[in-house]
């Protein structure tokens, strides 16, 4: 019998190829100065990524895309953006990666960490077949001699000419820009329109999105709501909440904490003070609404199946900000006040993304259905175009009692009076087909995907709350 001596490097290489988690343990110190605190979620994420990767290596159709929501400081970038591409090359050298982040400089930071691993003496001893090409070895793009590459891009950047076996997007939006509606739309448009066309094989290539939650309409929210394909949601809030996904992972939390070493209770308490209610709920708890409720405490709105016997003043308030087949919505909220009991009723919501002609027809049709006892409040945008549009609508509604007004102050300030009545338990709402979307928008405001129903509700409430009503006015 002949005994073959196997080198230590070959043994290590075999172990690392078999397990991405083992690979991470062996190469951690090359890219992170601090010793690894091997909390359970790190192995879980490694195993989940390996499960997705095995299908790519075999050329089989993917089972799902992946959305990973974890707090900052959980090693998400180290695992997903830095070590994972280097491990995949050990298994399949021709693997191609397109990796994005909200800024090109942030994407480059992760890229350099991957390159540090690949060019290290340790990696080269274990995987000597992985060599970087000298003519294509930059911070943002490096290619190996077996046609695998890792391309780094800032979200919104061009990726023309490149196709990946993996599309990895790590923190696609800056927390400081998550309140910008324009920024959210720009990021989501890049995620849904540009990135999907950059796949080697649309049946096989998975999209892996890693981020802390920042807004109802952030890229995670969009991927989870669009249902364009199956998505596995891995959500690991810093504290144990109902947001944990898959649900059974809640059993792994220790004393209600995800990572009691790096995110102990004292650190979490300090983050609550530093980030504020919204910041903590989004970035640490992975829910863009604080546990105690957002601006609108929707749980205090009583849902009622039938109209009240008591009748009062009724107003339909319109926000005409919508655009046809996209953008915002045109919304008409009908609200009634029971002045005897100081209770406000949300009776109906008409909502659509209409062009100007269709929208005006809908406003007129709704007014005719409501009847002339229902007054109409009409928000008029600033500028000559908004004024002219408002005048045309008032003219069209001849015979109805119409009040056209120009809103003052920001959306949040205008919503506060209505939100106060919601918090006081003084608002009831009919339970209809439109109710869930209406309450969802209130629940997430001001971080909701759209704000048109809140705007229209605020307009209706602010008119009804006036004690004295001029004859012929609202």
pLDDT in tens, 385-428: 567 788 889 999 999 999 988 888 778 778 888 988 888 899 99
Residues 185 and 313 in one domain: no
- pLDDT at position 473 over 50: no
User: With a threshold of 0.85, does the pTM exceed it?
Assistant: no
Query: In angstroms, rounded to a whole number, what is the distance separating the alpha carbons of residues 51 and 43?
Result: 12
Work out the average pLDDT over 283-295.
76
Q: Which two tokens stand for residue 190?
A: 């890049």
Q: Is the pLDDT of residue 468 over 50?
A: no
- 122 pLDDT more than 70: yes
Co-location of 38 and 180 in the same domain: yes
Give yes or no: residues 18 and 103 share one domain: yes
Task: Flag whether 266 is in a domain.
Answer: no
Structural domain span for residue 16: 8-235
Mean pLDDT to the nearest integer, 328-336: 92
* 201 within some domain: yes
Average pLDDT over residues 440-454: 84
- The strand ranges marked E within 42-165 are 65-69, 96-101, 132-137, 141-144, 149-154
> Could you tell me if 121 and 224 lie in one domain?
yes
Range with the poorest average pLDDT among 23-32, 312-321, 378-387, 417-426: 378-387
Is residue 474 very low, low, confident or very high in pLDDT (cuts 50, 70, 90)?
very low
The answer on pLDDT for 229 being more than 80 is no
Residue 31 lies in a domain: yes
Q: Is the same domain home to 311 and 414?
A: yes
Residue 443 DSSP symbol: H
For residue 190, give Cα distances in angstroms to 137, 160, 173, 187. Answer: 26, 13, 12, 5
**Same domain flag for 200 and 53:** yes
Indicate the residue among 235, 255, 286 that finishes a domain.
Answer: 235
Check whether residue 12 and residue 145 sit in a common domain: yes
Query: For 37-76, what is each residue's pLDDT tens digit?
Result: 899 999 999 999 999 999 999 999 999 999 999 999 999 9
Mean pLDDT to the nearest integer, 118-138:
96
How many independent structural domains does the chain possess? 2
More confident residue, 193 or 384: 193
pLDDT at 399: 92
Asked whether residue 208 is assigned to any structural domain, the reply reads yes
Query: Is the domain of 194 the same as that of 49?
Result: yes
Which pLDDT belongs to residue 382?
61
pLDDT at residue 3 tops 50? no
pLDDT band at 299, cuts 50/70/90?
confident
pLDDT at 325: 55
Output the pLDDT for position 14: 95
Which residues 6+ apart lie within 8 Å of 55 measured at CB? 61, 62, 63, 204, 206
pLDDT (mean) for 86-109: 96
Task: Tell me the per-residue pLDDT of 184-227, one tens digit each, with 9 for 90 and over.
Answer: 888 999 998 899 999 999 999 999 999 998 887 889 988 988 65
287 belongs to a structural domain: no
- pLDDT band at 327; cut points 50, 70, 90: low
Mean pLDDT of the chain: 89
pLDDT digits (tens, 9 = 90+) for 345-379: 999 999 999 988 999 999 999 999 999 999 999 98
Quick check: 116 and 137 in contact, CB under 8 A?
A: no
Find the largest Cα–Cα distance for the chain.
108
Count Cα atoms within 13 angstroms, Cβ side, for 21.
12
pLDDT at site 184: 83
> Cα–Cα distance between 428 and 300 in angstroms, integer?
9
Ranking 138-142, 258-262, 470-474 by mean pLDDT, the lowest is 470-474
Residue at which a domain ends, from 218, 235, 252: 235
Residue 291: pLDDT band (50, 70, 90) is: low
For residue 227, with 0-12 CB atoms within 10 Å meaning exposed, 13-18 middle and 19 or more buried, which class applies?
Answer: exposed
**Which of 40-49, 266-275, 452-461 tops mean pLDDT?**
40-49
With a cut of 70, say whether residue 290 has pLDDT above it: no
DSSP structural state of residue 105: H
């Amino acid at each position: 019998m002949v005994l073959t001596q196997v080198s230590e490097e070959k043994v290590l290489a075999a172990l690392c190829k078999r397990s991405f988690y083992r690979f991470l343990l062996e190469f951690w110190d090359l890219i992170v100065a601090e010793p690894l605190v091997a909390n359970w979620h790190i192995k879980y994420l490694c195993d989940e990524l390996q499960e997705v990767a095995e299908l790519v290596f075999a050329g089989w159709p993917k089972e799902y895309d992946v959305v990973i929501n974890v707090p900052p400081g959980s090693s998400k970038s180290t695992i997903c953006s830095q070590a994972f591409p280097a491990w995949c090359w050990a298994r399949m050298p021709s693997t191609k990666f397109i990796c994005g982040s909200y800024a090109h400089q942030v994407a480059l930071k992760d890229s350099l960490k991957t390159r540090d691993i690949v060019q290290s003496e340790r990696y080269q001893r274990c995987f000597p077949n992985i060599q970087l090409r000298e003519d294509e070895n930059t911070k943002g793009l490096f290619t190996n001699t077996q046609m695998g590459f890792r391309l780094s891009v800032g979200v919104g950047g061009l990726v023309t000419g490149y196709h990946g076996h993996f599309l990895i997007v790590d923190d696609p939006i800056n927390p400081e820009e998550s309140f910008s509606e324009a920024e959210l739309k720009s990021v989501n448009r890049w995620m849904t329109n540009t990135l999907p066309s950059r796949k080697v094989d649309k049946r096989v290539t998975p999209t892996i999105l890693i981020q802390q939650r920042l807004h109802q309409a952030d890229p995670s929210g969009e991927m989870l709501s669009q249902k364009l394909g199956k998505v596995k949601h891995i959500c690991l809030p810093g504290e144990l909440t109902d947001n944990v996904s898959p649900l059974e992972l809640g059993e792994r939390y220790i004393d209600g904490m995800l990572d009691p070493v790096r995110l102990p209770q004292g650190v979490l308490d300090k983050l609550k003070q530093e980030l504020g209610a919204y910041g903590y709920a989004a970035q640490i708890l992975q829910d863009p609404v604080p546990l105690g409720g957002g601006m609108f405490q929707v749980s205090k709105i009583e849902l009622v199946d039938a109209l009240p016997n008591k009748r009062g003043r009724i107003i339909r308030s319109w926000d005409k900000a919508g655009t046809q087949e996209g953008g915002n919505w045109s919304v008409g909220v009908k609200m009634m006040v029971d002045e005897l009991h100081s209770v406000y009723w949300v009776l109906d919501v008409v909502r659509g993304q209409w062009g100007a002609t269709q929208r005006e027809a809908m406003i007129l049709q709704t007014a005719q259905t409501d009847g002339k006892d229902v007054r109409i409040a009409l928000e008029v945008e600033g500028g000559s175009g908004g004024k002219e549009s408002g005048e045309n609508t008032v003219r069209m509604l001849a015979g109805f009692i119409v009040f056209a007004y120009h809103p003052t102050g920001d959306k949040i300030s205008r919503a506060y009076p209505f939100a106060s009545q919601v918090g006081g338990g003084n608002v009831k709402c009919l339970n209809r087909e439109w109710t869930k979307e209406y309450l969802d928008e209130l629940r997430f405001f001001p971080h909701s995907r759209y704000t048109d129903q809140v705007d229209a509700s605020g307009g209706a409430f602010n008119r009804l709350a006036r004690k004295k009503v001029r004859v012929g006015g609202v």
